[in-house]
Amino acid sequence: MQIRLLAFASLREILEAPERSLSLSEGATVGDAQKLLEEQFPALVPHRSSMRIACNGRLVDSDGMLRDGDEIALFPPVGGG
């Protein structure tokens, strides 16, 4: 299945693009996507503890199931205001 991946701020810079497409096998979880990304972009690893992930605009845990067409977003700690 295909997942749309968004990344912001420092994580966008590591991924070298604000938006990517990610191919995952059926039944993959948020944690699986994270693991795949860390293999492709090892600079993500130090951000693991502070990173949050949203799926379709809602924060999710790493065991959340993904579906074809989902939009997941990688969040560093926020700094608005």
**Where on the chain is the footprint of another protein (CB under 8 A)?**
6, 8-10, 12, 54, 57, 73, 75-81
Between 64 and 76, name the residue whose CB sits nearer to another protein: 76
Between 16 and 39, name the residue whose CB sits nearer to another protein: 16
Q: How far apart are CA 64 and CA 46, in angstroms?
A: 22
Q: Among residues 74, 73, 70, which one has the least CA distance to residue 2? A: 70
Between 28 and 55, name the residue whose CB sits nearer to another protein: 55
Q: How far apart are CA 77 and CA 24, in angstroms?
A: 26
CB 27 → another protein: shortest distance, Å?
26
One-letter amino acid for residue 5 of the chain? L
